[in-house]
């Protein structure tokens, strides 16, 4: 009977020791850095874990949605520029920017030539520099565009602004993803240290020398 009682006591002590095992701060921090809330789950802070996990899910969903909307806006303004202004679909972003500012490549080239003439030819009397600059920077015919209707030109501008807006929103979402991880990491580190420091197990000898008393202390 005494052996059974002793085994039960040892088993109970073992279970308590396992339950009171100190938590690894590094593990909690690493888990939170990978996925906010998992470090809190490891530390049995279920409410905080739910908040961090839900926040991360919402933020990542927003990031992906803004990215999708940005791609749609790009496809739309590229198709519009091609069908209504004749701009090549494979044009680079610089040409799409210019097509937002100038109704046609001809207008852009005229302004370019005028500015170059004033600077290189009239002010510096360097006709060759003027010719070289114009030939290097003017829009060639294969990259030309011409907005024939103002409503399409304005629609193009709106789509370009939508794309820029979604880029800004996506950057904000990315920042929120990083911040959520930083907060989760800091909270996990603080919580792990606090949990480890607030609890301890130690033994106290009996005054009569008949054994030891196992004591668990938790500081609130």
Q: Count CB atoms within 10 A of the CB of residue 102.
A: 19
Q: What pLDDT, on the 0 to 100 scale, is given for residue 145?
A: 96
- pLDDT digit string, tens, across residues 97-136: 999 999 999 999 999 999 888 888 777 788 888 888 889 9
Q: What pLDDT, on the 0 to 100 scale, is given for residue 199?
A: 52
Low-confidence winner among 21-30, 37-46, 80-89, 108-117 (lowest mean pLDDT): 21-30
Low-confidence winner among 72-86, 97-111, 194-208 (lowest mean pLDDT): 194-208
H/E segment holding residue 145 = none
Residue 33: which pLDDT band, with cuts at 50, 70 and 90?
Answer: very high
Low-confidence winner among 49-63, 106-120, 141-155 (lowest mean pLDDT): 106-120
Query: What mean pLDDT do residues 136-154 have?
Result: 95
Query: In the predicted model, is pLDDT for residue 8 greater than 70?
Result: no
3-state per-residue secondary structure call for 53-117: HHHHHHHHHHHHHHHHHHHHHHHHHHHHHHHHHCCCCCCCHHHHHHHHHCCEHHHHHHHHHHHHH
Percent of the chain having pLDDT more than 70? 80
Sequence spans of domains, the chain: 2-104+145-218, 105-144
């Amino acid at each position: 009977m005494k052996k059974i009682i002793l085994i039960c006591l040892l088993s109970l002590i073992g279970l308590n020791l396992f339950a009171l095992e100190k938590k690894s701060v590094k593990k909690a921090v690493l888990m939170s850095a990978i996925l906010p809330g998992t470090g809190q789950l490891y530390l049995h802070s279920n409410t905080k874990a739910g908040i961090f996990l839900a926040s991360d899910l919402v933020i990542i969903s927003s990031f992906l949605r803004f990215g999708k909307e940005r791609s749609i806006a790009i496809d739309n303004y590229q198709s519009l520029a091609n069908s209504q202004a004749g701009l090549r679909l494979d044009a680079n972003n610089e040409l799409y920017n210019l097509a937002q500012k100038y109704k046609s490549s001809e207008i852009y080239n005229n302004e370019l030539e005028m500015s170059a003439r004033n600077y290189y030819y009239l002010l510096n009397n360097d006709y060759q520099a003027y010719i070289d600059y114009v030939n290097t920077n003017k829009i060639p015919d294969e990259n030309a565009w011409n907005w024939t209707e103002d409503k399409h030109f304005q629609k193009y501008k709106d789509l370009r602004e939508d794309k820029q807006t979604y880029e800004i929103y996506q950057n904000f979402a990315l920042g929120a993803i990083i911040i959520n991880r930083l907060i989760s990491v800091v909270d996990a580190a603080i919580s792990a240290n606090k949990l480890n420091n607030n609890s301890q197990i130690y033994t106290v000898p009996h005054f009569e020398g008949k054994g030891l008393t196992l004591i668990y202390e938790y500081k609130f």
